[in-house]
Amino acid sequence: MKTTVYSAKNIVTMNAQKPDASHVAVRDGRILAVGSSDEVATWGPYELDEQFADKVLFPGLVEGHAHTMEGTLWRYVYCGYFDRMDPSGTTHRGNTSIDAVLEALKAAEAKMDDPDSPLTGWQLDPIYLDNKPVTRAQLDNVSATRPIGVLNASGHILYANSKALELASLLKKGVNHPGIPLGADGLPTGELKGPDAMAPVSVHVGMSGSIADVDERGLRDFARLCVRTGVTTVTDLAAKLDPDSVDMMLRVTGEPSFPACVVPLRFFLGLSPKELVPEVARLKKLSTDRLSLGRIKLVADGSIQGYSARLRWPGYHNGAPNGLWYVTPEQMLELYELALEAGLQIHTHTNGDQATQLAIEKLELALRKHPSNDHRFVLQHCQLADRAQFTRMAALGMSVNLFANHQFYWGDEHYTLTVGPDRALRMNAARTALDCGVPLAVHSDAPITPLGPFFTAWCAVNRLTRSGRVQGEHEKITVDEALWAITMGAAHSLHMDGLVGSIEVGKRADFAVLESDPRAANPEEIKDVEIWGTVQGGRVFAAADV
């Protein structure tokens, strides 16, 4: 049996019993020993690998809420406002004006051979561009002959040119749909809001009906992004997991060079609770070292900036009506009961505090019927929970995965428009969650915001909005707490804390290979920790080579 010992400038273990070490021994993809060179040598002969001698080894990062479809989106034109790194490591400059967006699309258009094939963009966010939607006429300037569609950063709005509307038979007068604004000429302006309005056009702009499911190349590309961001375990939080997609994921993650463990959650859709639970139990048995199946995702409400999240009194700050439920309380309860009974874990998307309240109440009822000591049901996003709710969550054994990045990207809009100053302060209340004893993770929800746990940690530590304002001083957490959240915290939320999340004997040899010790970073600089690559299951992946 071959043992490899890696020496490093420092090994930050996230194991309080031995927080620092200089050597880690790896055998069969697992950690055999951590300590000094003498300590690891007690296990017998080994091969010393000194390639990390000037690096810091840190536990492989765990992203507890992302969507692997980001890998597919990178094949479209990046239209976002912020600089963003693609799977190859190229950083695309942010498009800080509508003109810049149109230029980016034109540049891509110029490179296309087939005159009829669609041009597709993604991640456009007009909130940063004077809050004006991109119009059909503007996109017609890019091309009037090929269909063009640009996805909003939320994934729930599509901007189309005339050709795309024409192909969908929507370039006509008399269109009467709340999601399709009309111009002075009585024709659609090109903005299509909501999945229903988008659907007739999506197929004509190169987006198949099920963009939720990553494709083969997209999954490989997403894994390259993982290497570049130090991530070795990543969730795919709302997967349909039909048989073809499971086969594909098993095959691709099983490739010898696939650098991450993917954790897809089966979306509650298409099957009733009574059918879903046995199906997920069946999927669980198909799990491998790099594809961990057997968890359920339930969506309770919509999004706050889309005004579709369910809020308690006093509702939306701008007077918008309360949001939408995506599940009935009865169905939520039924699914909770059946999953507890079968020992399966559910992650529930709740954005608004009323949705959070409903989930707490229904889980409390379900637990009375099926008492479970360590269910770790997770509320995902849970952006508006208050102290009383965190207290109840702790009492019920729930965990939370907060959307820390939201504070930076949309915190200013939450303050002025969606929820107002009071509740903006308590959004993604990491401090309160920890104080109440709720196990904490924080997430990017990639592709909604970029994958990068150190950036997410920075958001939770600094709580800066895009305009540079600290929003919710009291809810800041420390660098150490944030580092825990992106390793052990996220691992705990997946029941994987015995397997990954720290550099500890017996665990999977998953490391983020860093240029410096993140614990030593100034709180404002934690997002800038340089990442060399990863080690996953004992296999070394240099970002420069993937």
Partner 1 sequence: MSKFGAQCKVDASLPQPMSEPLPVTIIGGYLGAGKTTLVNHLLRTAQGRKLAVMVNEFGALPIDEDLIEAQGDDLISIAGGCVCCTFGSDLSAALIELGKLPVRPDQVVIECSGVAIPSAIAASVTLLEGFAPDGTVVLVDAETIRTAAIDDYIGDTILRQLADADLAVINKADLVDVPTLSALESWLSDTAPRAKTIVSEHSKVPLDIALGLGATPIQSQQMGHADGLFDSIALPCADPLDGEPLAKALTDPKLHITRAKGFFDPIPDGPRKALHIVGHRWDITDSPPNAPLGIVCIGVKGQFERDLIRKTAKEAL
Residue ranges that bind partner 1, judged by CB under 8 A: 67, 154-156, 168-170, 175-180, 194-197, 199-200, 203, 209-213, 238, 240, 267-276, 299, 303, 310, 321-322, 324-331, 349, 354, 358, 445, 448
Residue 360 parent element (H or E): helix 353-369
Q: How far is the CB of 324 from partner 1 (least distance, A)?
A: 7
Q: List all residues 6 or more positions away from 282 whose beta carbon is below 8 Å from its beta carbon.
A: none
CB nearer to partner 1: pick between 187 and 199? 199
CA distance 333 to 338: 9
CB nearer to partner 1: pick between 349 and 508? 349
CB nearer to Zn ion: pick between 63 and 510? 63
236 binds Zn ion, rule: CB under 5 A:
no
Q: Closest residue to Zn ion, Cβ-based?
A: 349
Beta strands 378-381 and 345-350 are: parallel
Q: How far is the CB of 269 from partner 1 (least distance, A)?
A: 5
CA distance 79 to 96: 9
Q: List all residues 6 or more positions away from 380 whose beta carbon is below 8 Å from its beta carbon.
A: 65, 237, 297, 347, 348, 349, 350, 401, 403, 443
Contact 379, 398 (CB under 8 A): yes
Q: Which two tokens stand for residue 110?
A: 């110029």
Contact 304, 322 (CB under 8 A): no
CB nearer to Zn ion: pick between 56 and 249? 249
- Please report, for residues 40, 109, 162, 448, the alpha-carbon distance to residue 142 in angstroms, rounded to integers and kept in the order given: 61, 7, 11, 25
CA distance 485 to 399: 12
Q: Which of 337, 445, 481, 510 binds Zn ion (CB under 5 A)?
A: 445
CB nearer to partner 1: pick between 357 and 465? 357
Residue 274 interacts, among partner 1, Zn ion, none and using kind-specific CB cut-offs from 5 to 8 Å, with: partner 1
CB nearer to partner 1: pick between 242 and 255? 242
Region of residue 155 (left: phi > 0; alpha: psi -120 to 50; beta: else): left
Q: How far is the CB of 297 from partner 1 (least distance, A)?
A: 8
Residue 132 interacts, among partner 1, Zn ion, none and using kind-specific CB cut-offs from 5 to 8 Å, with: none
CB nearer to partner 1: pick between 19 and 329? 329
Q: How far is the CB of 228 from partner 1 (least distance, A)?
A: 22
Cβ density class 173-194: b for 16+ within 10 Å, e for less: eebeeeebbeeeeebbbbbbbb
CB nearer to partner 1: pick between 193 and 375? 193
Residue whose C-alpha is closest to residue 212's, from 117, 73, 403: 73
Q: How far is the CB of 182 from partner 1 (least distance, A)?
A: 13
CB nearer to partner 1: pick between 229 and 354? 354
Q: How far is the CB of 446 from Zn ion (least distance, A)?
A: 9
Q: How far is the CB of 326 from Zn ion (least distance, A)?
A: 10
Q: How many residues form the binding site for Zn ion (CB under 5 A)?
A: 3
Q: Which two tokens stand for residue 276?
A: 């879903």
Q: List all residues 6 or more positions away from 530 whose beta carbon is below 8 Å from its beta carbon.
A: 514, 515, 516
The answer to whether the peptide bond before residue 314 is cis (omega within 30 degrees of 0) is yes
Q: How far is the CB of 106 from partner 1 (least distance, A)?
A: 28
For residue 508, which phi and psi values (nearest 5 degrees)?
-65, 140
Q: Which two tokens stand for residue 289?
A: 């070292």
Residue 212 interacts, among partner 1, Zn ion, none and using kind-specific CB cut-offs from 5 to 8 Å, with: partner 1
Q: How far is the CB of 207 from partner 1 (least distance, A)?
A: 10
Residue 50 interacts, among Zn ion, partner 1, none and using kind-specific CB cut-offs from 5 to 8 Å, with: none
For residue 462, which phi and psi values (nearest 5 degrees)?
-105, -25
Residue 420 interacts, among partner 1, Zn ion, none and using kind-specific CB cut-offs from 5 to 8 Å, with: none
Residue 156 interacts, among partner 1, Zn ion, none and using kind-specific CB cut-offs from 5 to 8 Å, with: partner 1
481 binds Zn ion, rule: CB under 5 A:
no
CB nearer to Zn ion: pick between 98 and 237? 237
Q: Which two tokens stand for residue 84?
A: 């963003």
Contact 433, 387 (CB under 8 A): no
Q: How far is the CB of 390 from Zn ion (least distance, A)?
A: 19
Residue 200 interacts, among partner 1, Zn ion, none and using kind-specific CB cut-offs from 5 to 8 Å, with: partner 1
CB nearer to Zn ion: pick between 237 and 460? 237
392 binds Zn ion, rule: CB under 5 A:
no
Q: Which two tokens stand for residue 387?
A: 């102290």
Q: How far is the CB of 470 from partner 1 (least distance, A)?
A: 27
CA distance 3 to 30: 10
Region of residue 120 (left: phi > 0; alpha: psi -120 to 50; beta: else): beta
What three-state secondary structure class fits 345? strand
CB nearer to partner 1: pick between 109 and 166? 166
349 binds Zn ion, rule: CB under 5 A:
yes
Length of the chain: 546
Q: How far is the CB of 211 from partner 1 (least distance, A)?
A: 5
**Contacts to Zn ion by CB under 5 A:** 237, 349, 445
